[in-house]
Amino acid sequence: MKISNAHLRSFRNHNETAFEFGTRVNVLLGENGQGKTNALEALSFLCLTKSFYASADATVMQQHGTFFEIKSVLLSDKGKEFHVRVTYDDEKKTKKFTINGADVEKFSSVIGMFPVVILSPENSSITFGSPADRRKFVDLVISQSSKSYVENAMEYRRIVRQRNMILSEAKGKDCSSEIAPWNEMLITYGSRIIGKRNQFLSEFAPYIAQTYLDIVDERETPKIEYAPSISIKPDSSLEEIAAAMEQKLAKKKNDELRFQTTLVGPHRDEIIFSLNGMSLKHFASQGQHKTFLVALKVAEFFFLKERCNETPIFLLDDVFSELDEYRSRKLLSLAESLGQIFITTTSEKIFGGAEWNNERRKFFIKSGEVAQEPVTA
């Protein structure tokens, strides 16, 4: 997959910005707060139909604006052209997504069509943060590689909300009859999500082992372990997972009434990262965290490339500011070997001596504009 061009209107601080991208490396250079990350956010919006930062569409609309628009031409590995357009109308609070002129009815159907991997400073929460941050990472990778997962996850969230409402309204009193149908749905959808995460984590394990080896010189063995709120095995069937959920729900019935919230299901899953058998979260150094994260993202790239049958685009937001020059160069040459990449940076230093041409372009971003046209061959 490649992004040939993109046209942003009224998106964050970009009033009207047009990019004609290089086919391999695109560097967005500029001082702090100029709109580099915003441009990457727009690109990811095309692929994910939403922002990877903001939860509400209106947030990415230019302040005091009434709409935003992102238009782009994407090219698949097989050479097929996709004219993609996203528009948001603030008055009607509606978002429209079209591909080659046709309206997309279900936004979830777009996810995975244009696979994307994002490495940004916010991602540090994947290794440092709470279980929810790790679930979000896992969900985004699975979502891009499995259509039904997105829909199951959406439905599951709705079920948990409903169920929590019943538990909260019961105020600790028995509500067995109201909650019974929701228990069944919780188990149906919850077990599908647990089953998929279980399968994903075992399939993903060799990818992370390999990329970690590629990135780290010394031998450290990374591991990702699935720790759901019910006990299952790596090869548990859907029926076994559902049975385990049912059992656990019965066991937690009183606790759920007392705490007025759903205590069993994939929204309580933990995913544990470790290096040489030691939990990353509790024992790893800053550098080990960073390396693990880069390895995760590169592994995600290869995983999606295989599953989606399409090379993902790779967005690297401000990754070099935290790495020393040696590691930065290593990451850069690795990233360049993957596919089309988009890099934001405040310093050109690491690209010193690079040639700029149709494959490799540099855009100087200032106050939400491309201040200088890129050099082309």
Ligand X SMILES: Nc1ncnc2c1ncn2[C@@H]1O[C@H](COP(=O)(O)OP(=O)(O)OP(=O)(O)O)[C@@H](O)[C@H]1O
- Positions touching ligand X (CB under 6 A) are 12-13, 30, 32-38, 61-63, 318, 344, 346
Cβ closest to Mg ion, residue 204 vs residue 314: 314
300 in Cβ contact with 293 (< 8 Å): no
The residue behind tokens 């050099």 is 375
Site string (248-267) toward Mg ion, x via CB under 5 A: --------------------
What whole-number distance in Å separates Cα of residue 305 and Cα of residue 340? 12
Q: Shortest distance, CB of residue 13 to ligand X, whole angstroms?
A: 4
Question: Is the alpha carbon torsion for 359, 363, 369, 371 positive or negative?
Answer: negative
Residue 30: contacted member of Mg ion, ligand X, none (CB under 5 to 8 Å, by partner type)? ligand X
Q: Is 13 in the site for Mg ion (CB under 5 A)?
A: no
DSSP states of 197-259: HHHHHHHHHHHHHHHHHHH-SS---EEEEEE-SS---TT--HHHHHHHHHHHHHHTHHHHHHH
Residue 345: contacted member of Mg ion, ligand X, none (CB under 5 to 8 Å, by partner type)? none
Pairing verdict, β 360-366 and 270-275: unpaired
Residue sitting closest to Mg ion (CB): 37
The residue behind tokens 């509606």 is 94
Cβ closest to ligand X, residue 22 vs residue 368: 368
Residue 198: contacted member of ligand X, Mg ion, none (CB under 5 to 8 Å, by partner type)? none
Q: Shortest distance, CB of residue 318 to Mg ion, whole angstroms?
A: 5
Cβ closest to Mg ion, residue 28 vs residue 230: 28
What whole-number distance in Å separates Cα of residue 360 and Cα of residue 364? 13
Chain residues 17-56 in contact with Mg ion, contact rule CB under 5 A: 37
Cβ closest to ligand X, residue 36 vs residue 267: 36
Tokens found for residue 377: 């061959």
Q: Shortest distance, CB of residue 104 to ligand X, whole angstroms?
A: 24
Q: Shortest distance, CB of residue 37 to Mg ion, whole angstroms?
A: 3
Q: Shortest distance, CB of residue 34 to ligand X, whole angstroms?
A: 4
What whole-number distance in Å separates Cα of residue 52 and Cα of residue 60? 11
Cβ closest to ligand X, residue 168 vs residue 367: 367
Which amino acid type is present at position 62?
Q
44 in Cβ contact with 118 (< 8 Å): yes
Q: Shortest distance, CB of residue 61 to ligand X, whole angstroms?
A: 6
Cβ closest to ligand X, residue 31 vs residue 214: 31
What whole-number distance in Å separates Cα of residue 2 and Cα of residue 312? 8
Q: Shortest distance, CB of residue 60 to ligand X, whole angstroms?
A: 6
Q: Is 328 in the site for Mg ion (CB under 5 A)?
A: no
Tokens found for residue 136: 């979000």
What whole-number distance in Å separates Cα of residue 4 and Cα of residue 359? 11
Chain residues 91-110 in contact with Mg ion, contact rule CB under 5 A: none
What whole-number distance in Å separates Cα of residue 160 and Cα of residue 186? 7
Residue 346: contacted member of Mg ion, ligand X, none (CB under 5 to 8 Å, by partner type)? ligand X
Cβ closest to ligand X, residue 288 vs residue 345: 345
Footprint on this chain of Mg ion (rule: CB under 5 A)? 37
